[in-house]
Amino acid sequence: MAMMLVYSCANGVKSDNVLLEENLADSAENWTIKDTVSRKFDFVYEDLKMPMKIKWVTAMDPAGCLRISTISLVKTQKESAFHFDDIQVSQLPCAMSAEGTSVETALLFGSFWAKIDGKEYSYDGCILNITGDGKYINMTKTP
């Protein structure tokens, strides 16, 4: 399982809005970069919404699987009562998609908490499911 970075440094300054920057292809040789995917979504919990952005780079490995090379997850609202901790990535092995393409899937898990108007909120679980073919499922969105 790949581990997390909870913040990033730009010019030595911590950015609280960057929740995750992960390179999943550190030891990958001969991967061919295919696409950069960027999606905006809302982290939804009970009556709360937090605008976020997920970005990932897809790459083809020598076996023909569309893999996830890098991932970044960012809160797009600068000031917020939302707090995220312990964001982690769990990679699933390549499998055939409905379109017949071999793709890797990554699940992003984490903890969230907030205290708004005296009410406390907390969430611990899956946030997103992303794939090497550029698809994603927001796991926090209520039906």
Q: So where are the chain's domains?
A: 8-138
The pTM score is 0.82
Q: What does the radius of gyration of the chain's CA atoms come to, in whole angstroms?
A: 16
Q: How far, in Å, CA of 132 to CA of 143, rounded?
A: 25
pLDDT in tens, the chain (143 residues): 333 333 333 333 346 789 999 998 866 678 899 999 999 999 988 888 889 999 999 999 999 999 999 999 999 987 778 888 889 999 999 999 888 899 999 999 999 999 988 999 999 999 999 999 999 999 987 65
Residues 6 or more apart whose Cβ sits within 8 Å of residue 35: 57, 58, 134
